Structure 1
Amino acid sequence: MDDKHTLFAGRFFLQELISQSNTAEVYRAVDQQTGLTVAIKRLVQTLPHPSLQQQFGQEVRILQQLDHPHIVKLIDAGKTADGQYLVLPYYDGGSLASLLAREGSFSIERVLKIGIALADALRVIHEQHITHGDLKPGNIILSEMGDPILADFGAAHLDQGKRFLPRGTVLGTYEYLSPEACNRDLVDSRTDIWSLGVMLYEMLTGKLPFSHPKVSHLLIAIMMEPPPDIQQLRPDLGDRFADLIYRMLAKDPNQRIPTAELVVAELTAIWQTNGFALESDMGVSSFADMMTWEMVGPQHNLPTNPMLFVGRQRELEEIHRLLLDPGYRLVTIHGSGGIGKTRLAMQVAQHYLEETEEDVFVVDLAAVDSPDLLVTAVAETIHFHFFGRDEPEEQLLNYLQGKRMLLVLDNFEHLITQAGFLSRILLKTFDVQILVTSQERLNVREEWVFPLEGLPVIDPLVTSNEQKPPAVELFIETGRRARRDYAPSEEELNDIREICTLVEGVPLAIELAAGWVNRLTPAAILTRLREGFEFLATDLPHLPARHRSTRSVFEYAWELLNPEEKQTVRRLSVFRGRFSLDASRRITGTSIPTLYKLIDKALLRRSPVSGQFSMQAMVRQFAAQKLSLYETEQIMIRTRHVEYYLRGIYSLRADLKGERQADALQDIEREISNIRVAWQWAALQGDPQLLDLGTDALFSFYQLRGRQREGAQSFAQAVQGLKEKTRAQTGIALCRLLARQGVCNRFIGRLEEARSMLQESLNLARTLGDLREMAFSLYQLGAAMPNEPGIMAYWEESLAVAEALDDQTLIAEVLNWLAFGLFREGRIDEAVETLERSLVVRRALSDHHGLANALTNLGVVQIHLGNYGKAKDLLQEGLLTYQQIGDIHGVAAASNNLSHTALNMEDYKAAQRWGKQALDYFRRVGDKKAEGEALGNLATVALQQEDYELARTLCLQCIELYMGLGLPTSSYYKDLGRVALAQNEWGEAYLVFRKALQEEPSTAVTLDILTGIAAIWMQEGKLTDAVALFTFVQQHPVSEQIVRDRATEKLQLLDSRMPSAEFAAAQSDGKEKSLELWLTYVL
């Protein structure tokens, strides 16, 4: 029927047929009611299949729930005698397909802009659990401004794998089909990511990655062949963009970048890296990486797309049962390398998370070379940051108290000497379970060993011919990574069984063997393996049979690699843990396609989410042995590795002290294993230039993450490496390293060593004439001996040099210490002015961590002065800043100070609220000392609210806590004395106050206690002594304002009761006595 000039549905005047498919037609039409030009999509009348009508109705429902600037909007929908129809906006920009036909390919900027818009549209679609299913240029229409609009949801489905089309119908267009769609597997949102990857490839090159005139050949290519090297077709394309497309075109959906949100983030980062300004009208949602303070649900770091897991159901259930039993808190999966311990542990952890909803963290120990770093590795993984001077292990154990968590410690065999640490975790906690994978037993009392053998090659539980034994199934599934349609014949299955038997069911060996099914038949693989086994049995008879099997498979796989692949594998062994594409390219010199070939051959792994690569521990060991045969190459690659990582952290120096501080810390944390190896190699070589590159950034990282103990060790290694060089060779590097080593030692309480190192550094800086290092060493040396007479001169000289250099960061640091000295000397106004100067500098630098500390310090001083409104504003800003940088300990400290401020303002509800928040956060991070301070604050709140029993209970809790920690308890005996004072228990109060003074508390606490004793004297009728003591406290420069106010109030009362002359004489007496005389008199 000719529909031209036809009135449709009594309202729309059909003008032109725009497009047509097997199932639907789209017309340009005019809405007679509104006069607007619209698009009408209607079902083809000759295809009345019920499932198509159902799918069309679903398209209506889908469009009704979607709202995005790059998704077509539904205007109306209906049904006539001719069938169902949709009314959509009409865009006259044509389709992306027609634009590609005219122009061939686009600029990188244009492709990125289109890609970001479409990926963000997919993000919204996938959030609604919708898969588009037919993403292609023909379904992207363009607005008048050229903006892409995603249309045609005719193939979309709501749930994973759900189809409404008749059996045998292909979902989507052949050239854009994903391998799983070609193979008619169930599809999910990752099929859209594949299709978008194809479109990005096509827009950049003008060619499809897979094409063939015959559909059968095309589908085979999609399922089996790698895409042509995109950088050869588009030489100006950067590595990151090329790699993203390869990640989107991973044939195994479990290896594909998993979400559209991640694609948006990557494309946006590439856009900005290329220097393009993100336009406000691109329609992309904001993905601000904001910290969530009240975490919802269990926390974990399990992989989004876990490793291929086959069989092991009995083992999985047994280990899971053990971990759920409180009697089995430490379970070791014990077995040889490559036996599958890690993948079993990951599966157990996933089940544990789903059943218990407790936190689950996997600590990868393969890259932890030193036993001393075990505690740090656990802390890194569970996002715990060290603070204060306590031993890292003690801090971590305190943090773990009260936590409900499963810790998975993977690859523990080289850290066996630290197994006692696991026992101490179990001793200190009640609800932390530990799962270990190791080639060696831990041999600790609490350990339950679960031995792991190879996968069964003949499985008695398999009864169906279609079912395969686990070992055979793993071989087939591994083969499907490279060939999505891989389906061995019965004869080939027999060869596969022989291969699996030969390698004793070892999963790593099976995967390495199966990595070649796209080039060799199972029979050929079997022949090569048998030859390798015979050679190894003769050449390496001392190796256990299982080790020989894995070694033989690796040698077989090695011989099949081409020269570039061999070179890449051995060079990649220089890495520890995870590494980036950029690192692998720059250090090894390999190509992106080569890396993907190694993934297909099971020699390399990659996280679909982060994009980082890694090597299985045994593969890395084999590869390292190959590299050791090429001495010149090994030195060259290690040197490249050192330069890459140390230059990398050198480039972050400014970020660590500015706006990008949090991002820079995360960048270093992500690469810390390789940074450590690079630093150790540079220290071993005694290379001053390379060490100097990393010194500043590594020092900032250790300081901001509270890892001064590791810093002291790292800088000691470097200093030792340079000590053997002459001064002319080391230059300023040794001076800088000594200073940072000294600071780390000061922080952990090794003051004598710190002073010696800082003094040596200062002497070197003066000799070399390096003013910046001289200023740094001066103020740090002052910080290392703050109670020494004349120390202010160090800070004053340091400030003068820093100002001459106009080094704003250094100025801010020195001002903070100078204010500390002024405050200690009672020069409060000068201290406030100095802190305010420091605050101004911190704001200008955008140094969030320094800003938060400056706000807190100034807020505390304002509390001391009684300026509670100012203190509140400063502390609240400080708390917000700590939140922004993710410093939970800082948030806790700010909350505690706000509680103290509210208490002084007599806002007891606020004081209690802030105090409880501080207590909660201090307990979360395991800071027992600060927990006592928060309890003390809450005790004071209870006292002011006349809840004396609660106040007494909290004070006694504080005293018990501090006695257990071996810390002074004077502050809490002081509070306990005030509780007794409030209840008119004068004798009890006096005894408690005296006990507090005997511990020689700080001056501020001592003065507060003395007001309590003066109040007792006042009640006992010793008015003259009371006036003298109150006057002494009132006029002492270190007295807090609230203490002064308390003394003033009592003096006014005594003045009204005593003769003027007697009162004046007592005041005069009080002013003349020193603190030492008063303490002698009281005690």
Structure 2
Amino acid sequence: MGSLAVVLTVYNPSMPRLDISFLGTIQVSLNRQPITHFRSANNQGLLVFLTLQPEKPLSRELLTAVFWPEESDKNARNNLRQSLYQLRKLLGDLNEPAQPYLLVTRQTVQFNPKSDYQLDVRQFLQAVDAGDLETAVSHYHDDLLPGFTCDSLEFESWLRQEREHLHHLALETMLEAGRDCLQNGRYDKAQTIARQQLALEPWREQAHRQLMQALALAGDRANALNQFEQCQAALREELGIEPAPETITLFEEIKSGQLAPTATAETIRPPVKVRHNLPATTTLLVGREVEIEQISQWFMQDAKRLVTIVAPGGMGKTRLGTAVGATLLEQYADGVYFVDLAPLEHPDEIGTAIASVLDYQAPDKTKDLLPQLLATLSQQQMLLILDNFEHLLSPPPVPPDGGEALVSRLLQTCPRLSILITSRQRLNLASENRFELGGLDVPEWLTPEDAAQFTAVQLFVANGRRVQPDFVLNDSNVTDVVHICQLVQGMPLGLLLAATWLELLAPAEIAVEIEDSLDFLTTELADLPPRQRSMQAVFDYSWQMMNATEQAVLAKLSVFRGGFTREAAAEVAEANLRVLLALVNKSLLQREEESGRFTIHELLRQFATAQRLRLDAKNSALFAHCTYFAEKIKGETHKTAGFFPLQIPSKYAADRDNLHRAWEFALQDGLAEQLAALVPAIIVFGFRQGKQASAVPAEAVRALQQKNRANSDEALLYLQLLEQTSRFGTDDSSLVGEGLLTLVPFFEKQPYPELRFWLYLWLGLLESPAREAWYDRAHETALEMKDELFINTTEVIRIRWAISDEEKNEAILAKLQELRAFFEPKLTTPVLANSFVFHTILASLQEVSTATGAYEQAIDYGKRSLNMAKEWQDLFWLSDGFHRLTKTYLAMGLLDDAKLQYLDSLEWHLAVGQVWQTLGLLVGLASQFPEFIGGQTTAVSILSMIFHHHEVVVFHKQEIDGALPTVRAELEAAAFAAAWENGKGMGFDTAVSLVRSALQTGK
């Protein structure tokens, strides 16, 4: 029997009359006086049973069956009456208060949910439902009544299930709260929450990883590495296993300095280049070993290059495809990449989707993406998995000009590329090898031992144990389990969903429900093949088993593409963590363990979309989805207009499809504010793949003008400004200036000083005699707004120009220090964290410190600004940072340290960049610092290799042409010709190896 703790309380008029705690030991106090004289453990248990289920009255028959199952009906009813009398007496209900704690009738008993009471379990659950996870975590100080026993095994079984449910929910809540703290830079709190998880489960590997992250990001690398050792020891001792690959990868990242506070000057090594993006496993793969082996053999032994896995929806095509990809990882030197085509609406989008997955950045933004992508893929040995292809095929009998035409072009252009496709329909290409995927093996009539050998039964049982851990196949249920497998024809998704019903139904009842639904659907959906009718039956019944809240949430969640976060689900679908976890437990959602993102099977998403269209005719969910992502991007870019935060591509990579869906909806409905907010993200993602940046705001402007939006609308004006500023770097600067000048007269008539500020500032960025005048007008506008952020931003940009004009003196240094003091405390805010403006301050401080001889300080500033660029993983700013450090070390006379900067830059380019970007780095190295790589002869060979490489861009060729006259003057004609000819035959990898060796210290 659990112990009763004496509660010492201090009078507080705001406290409830009844205070109850079940997390840990039972603690009950009435009017601040502890209740300790329960007659028996059963009485305590009865209070627990009633208090934890206050939603509806419980019948007396149920209560007697739970607490006195061995007694006669008469004795059980008498025991219940006595127990209720004592509880009412202890709670003061015998005095007939206005709001008694127990509502007792001749048939039922209910704990009064409207009474004046406080329960720690209730506080925990209310905080979870409200999304206040940190408060929820603070309430959960122990599990539900651990060790409590009474005379009822039925009650103890119920209590054990409740305890496990709350324990699981608490751990998930702590995990999410810890994620929130890590994202918001609250590393101390994240450490506390991770330790709370480990107090409940010392072997919880996710909590160990969170603690490692929190320690590393707080700058405590030693303890972060030590935590890995503690994790390793706990896993070995408790579970007899080694840490997961994710934990080992995190350990290596911390060890190499990749995971560290960005503001530090500590060296951060480049990430290990990952050669795949295969999604994390969220569902079981049972019984597909033969299929995996056969498809893998087609690619490897039989040298087939195009395989299509063809099957109806729900058969497990995607899961099989990713399993094949994982098996073939070592066979493809350039990697295996999974491309989800479900969010696409037109075949023309396939190339962009592939480029996005590969993080391919087209070298020439003025040309079409696809030919450039094909040129790169033509040199690579790679496997592409194109998932959910069927809706991008040409409709028969039209000649193939849809997605299959692009597949054919890929195969013809890229001889070392292999493609694995999953589709409900074949492609009908001559080179296609179709693999018809059937259901899992289904038995006919067998003993439990025989049935357990069939893969369909194995999958049903394995998933059934997720919701009913003690579920086993036996003589009493084997017939019904086999019947279920037959009804869904071995379809994995059908088995997965049907197994979740074991929480409420016996196998016999599940079979009846599916069969009844099938009978109904036979007439309603006569045009569908039997397999699709069986899946529809499972979906329909799964839908009916959900409560109204779960139905509404799942329907709204169908608007997402490529998954979503808990925060997004809360804002768009009003889904709290409890509802999301309930949908996960019912296999209607999957959850990625590392990222915490939720995903939905494409077939289920389509079913849920149909429900949403029925329930939400006004598209409120789509509007909420669009507005949510618009606000997220606005939060990143507010007061940094035009200086798009460079972390957007990495921070929102998983939501690229969601952002584009939000953009399309905003265009369709003419949502000006949402369009204006989303532009920076759409520009960044499009520009990386090759889309002209200015085309994005121009498209939004046209959409709003078609909706007759007023020309003086602030959002429309902002978009017109971005249409001009996004031309920087691609169009002639004089033309950009002309475009901006046309806006000045109209902007100056409008009551939007912030827009005028940015217009003036951008005009100041142009190299023109009027530059200072435009800065002055920007500064005056900032003063008019009394906005210190804008005032100081103007000063930062003005000083940067002054430094480029060789104004590097103590006065400039003092002003920069003043600006740093203003901006640095604000780096914890989402807008300014890792901001371009602060990066500019650090870079400027480095250059001025170098010029004034303060070398050690210059190195510190240089490393800090470089680490910001490393977090962005933007190669332009990485190159700039390494180049600045090179010049500082050379000014100090430290040649070896200077060379190491280019070595590190090379490694970063190879890790996160494209070949053409690495070629650009080598152009600068060979032309500016030939002594770093052995002299002019080697430099000429490297330049020749670049000049003749198929991925060289026009700009790099122009740089080489500009550098060659100087090189020719220093080399004899014969030596130059020989070196140039040598470079023609040099491969990229050979050149990289040569340069890497030369850059090593002392070489």
Alignment TM class, shorter chain as reference = 0.5 to 0.7
| Aligned with 1:981 (options 941, 955, 969) | 969
SS of equivalent residue, structure 1 residue 718: helix
Q: Contact conserved, 1:342 with 1:437, CA < 8 A, in 2?
A: yes
How far apart, CA to CA, are the structure 2 residues paired with 1:231 and 1:561? 20
The letter for the 2-side match of 1:638 is L
- Which position in structure 2 is the counterpart of 1:336? 312
Q: Contact conserved, 1:929 with 1:962, CA < 8 A, in 2?
A: no
How far apart, CA to CA, are the structure 2 residues paired with 1:986 and 1:869? 45
| Aligned with 1:290 (options 247, 259, 274) | 259
Deviations, residues 293-330 of structure 1 (Å, cap 9, x unaligned): 34458555545554111101111112233444693455
- Which position in structure 2 is the counterpart of 1:129? none
Deviations, residues 28-62 of structure 1 (Å, cap 9, x unaligned): xxxxxxxxxxxxxxxxxxxxxxxxxxxxxxxxxxx
Q: Contact conserved, 1:899 with 1:937, CA < 8 A, in 2?
A: no
| Aligned with 1:410 (options 387, 391, 411) | 387
Q: Contact conserved, 1:859 with 1:875, CA < 8 A, in 2?
A: yes
Q: Contact conserved, 1:650 with 1:696, CA < 8 A, in 2?
A: no
1:741 CA drift (Å): 3.1
SS of equivalent residue, structure 1 residue 575: coil
1:603 CA drift (Å): 1.8
Q: How many residues align?
A: 783
Deviations, residues 221-263 of structure 1 (Å, cap 9, x unaligned): 58866867799999x999959999999999xx99x98522256
The letter for the 1-side match of 2:525 is L
Q: TM-score, normalised by structure 1?
A: 0.59
Say if 1:225 and 1:563 are closer, same or farther in 2 by CA, change over 3 A.
same
Q: Contact conserved, 2:869 with 2:878, CA < 8 A, in 1?
A: yes
| Aligned with 1:475 (options 440, 460, 473) | 460
Larger Rg: 1
Say if 1:233 and 1:212 are closer, same or farther in 2 by CA, change over 3 A.
farther
1:629 CA drift (Å): 1.7
Q: Contact conserved, 1:938 with 1:954, CA < 8 A, in 2?
A: yes
The letter for the 1-side match of 2:144 is K
User: Does residue 945 of structure 2 align to residue 957 of structure 1?
Assistant: yes
How far apart, CA to CA, are the structure 2 residues paired with 1:902 and 1:238? 45
User: Does residue 491 of structure 2 align to residue 506 of structure 1?
Assistant: yes
1:566 CA drift (Å): 2.6
The letter for the 2-side match of 1:956 is S
Say if 1:521 and 1:574 are closer, same or farther in 2 by CA, change over 3 A.
same
Say if 1:249 and 1:376 are closer, same or farther in 2 by CA, change over 3 A.
farther
1:342 CA drift (Å): 1.6
- Which position in structure 2 is the counterpart of 1:311? 287
- Which position in structure 2 is the counterpart of 1:260? 207
| Aligned with 1:775 (options 735, 757, 761) | 757
Q: Contact conserved, 2:457 with 2:485, CA < 8 A, in 1?
A: yes
Say if 1:211 and 1:552 are closer, same or farther in 2 by CA, change over 3 A.
farther
SS of equivalent residue, structure 1 residue 450: strand
SS of equivalent residue, structure 1 residue 516: helix
- Which position in structure 1 is the counterpart of 2:145? 208
Deviations, residues 411-459 of structure 1 (Å, cap 9, x unaligned): 3444554566666776787876544333344566765443322222149
How far apart, CA to CA, are the structure 1 residues paired with 2:852 and 2:370? 38
1:821 CA drift (Å): 7.6
The letter for the 2-side match of 1:685 is D
1:957 CA drift (Å): 2.5
Deviations, residues 666-701 of structure 1 (Å, cap 9, x unaligned): 554444433433343333322334445x35864796
1:773 CA drift (Å): 0.7
Say if 1:403 and 1:833 are closer, same or farther in 2 by CA, change over 3 A.
farther
Say if 1:461 and 1:882 are closer, same or farther in 2 by CA, change over 3 A.
farther
For residues 933-948 of structure 1, the aligned pairs below 5 Å read: 934-935=922-923, 937-938=925-926, 941-942=929-930, 947-948=935-936
SS of equivalent residue, structure 1 residue 628: helix
- Which position in structure 2 is the counterpart of 1:641? 625
| Aligned with 1:595 (options 570, 573, 580) | 580
SS of equivalent residue, structure 1 residue 436: strand
| Aligned with 2:506 (options 512, 518, 521) | 521
How far apart, CA to CA, are the structure 2 residues paired with 1:414 and 1:905? 62
How far apart, CA to CA, are the structure 2 residues paired with 1:226 and 1:574? 35
1:217 CA drift (Å): 4.6
Say if 1:844 and 1:881 are closer, same or farther in 2 by CA, change over 3 A.
farther
1:569 CA drift (Å): 2.6
- Which position in structure 2 is the counterpart of 1:686? 670
For residues 721-800 of structure 1, the aligned pairs below 5 Å read: 721-725=703-707, 731-749=713-731, 758=740, 762-780=744-762, 786=766, 794=774, 797-800=777-780
How far apart, CA to CA, are the structure 2 residues paired with 1:538 and 1:213? 54
SS of equivalent residue, structure 2 residue 421: strand
SS of equivalent residue, structure 1 residue 333: strand
User: Does residue 891 of structure 2 align to residue 891 of structure 1?
Assistant: no
Q: Contact conserved, 1:939 with 1:950, CA < 8 A, in 2?
A: no
How far apart, CA to CA, are the structure 1 residues paired with 2:633 and 2:951? 43
Say if 1:436 and 1:748 are closer, same or farther in 2 by CA, change over 3 A.
farther
How far apart, CA to CA, are the structure 2 residues paired with 1:357 and 1:222? 54
How far apart, CA to CA, are the structure 2 residues paired with 1:940 and 1:649? 39
The letter for the 1-side match of 2:387 is D
The letter for the 2-side match of 1:845 is F
- Which position in structure 2 is the counterpart of 1:488? 473
| Aligned with 1:715 (options 678, 697, 710) | 697
Q: Contact conserved, 2:305 with 2:418, CA < 8 A, in 1?
A: yes
1:911 CA drift (Å): 5.5
Q: Contact conserved, 2:23 with 2:140, CA < 8 A, in 1?
A: no
For residues 1029-1044 of structure 1, the aligned pairs below 5 Å read: none
Q: Contact conserved, 1:859 with 1:874, CA < 8 A, in 2?
A: yes
Say if 1:840 and 1:248 are closer, same or farther in 2 by CA, change over 3 A.
closer
For residues 191-230 of structure 1, the aligned pairs below 5 Å read: 203-204=140-141, 207-208=144-145, 213=150, 217=154, 221=158
How far apart, CA to CA, are the structure 1 residues paired with 2:626 and 2:478? 47
SS of equivalent residue, structure 2 residue 718: helix
Say if 1:897 and 1:429 are closer, same or farther in 2 by CA, change over 3 A.
farther
Q: Contact conserved, 1:400 with 1:926, CA < 8 A, in 2?
A: no
Say if 1:100 and 1:696 are closer, same or farther in 2 by CA, change over 3 A.
same
1:735 CA drift (Å): 0.7
How far apart, CA to CA, are the structure 2 residues paired with 1:506 and 1:247? 39
For residues 321-720 of structure 1, the aligned pairs below 5 Å read: 321-324=297-300, 327-353=303-329, 360-368=336-344, 374=350, 377-378=353-354, 381=357, 389=365, 406-415=383-392, 417=402, 434-442=419-427, 448-458=433-443, 465=450, 467-490=452-475, 492-590=477-575, 592-632=577-617, 634-653=618-637, 667-691=651-675, 694-695=677-678, 698=681, 706=688, 709=691, 712=694, 714-720=696-702
1:711 CA drift (Å): 6.0
How far apart, CA to CA, are the structure 1 residues paired with 2:821 and 2:362? 26
How far apart, CA to CA, are the structure 2 residues paired with 1:947 and 1:819? 37
For residues 221-240 of structure 1, the aligned pairs below 5 Å read: 221=158
The letter for the 2-side match of 1:892 is S
- Which position in structure 1 is the counterpart of 2:781? 801
Deviations, residues 57-115 of structure 1 (Å, cap 9, x unaligned): xxxxxxxxxxxxxxxxxxxxxxxxxxxxxxxxxxxxxxxx999548689xxxxxxxxxx
For residues 1046-1057 of structure 1, the aligned pairs below 5 Å read: none
Say if 1:630 and 1:988 are closer, same or farther in 2 by CA, change over 3 A.
closer
* Long gaps (5+) in structure 1: 1-96, 106-196, 273-277, 993-1083
SS of equivalent residue, structure 1 residue 767: coil
Q: Contact conserved, 2:937 with 2:975, CA < 8 A, in 1?
A: no
Q: TM-score, normalised by structure 2?
A: 0.64
The letter for the 2-side match of 1:688 is A
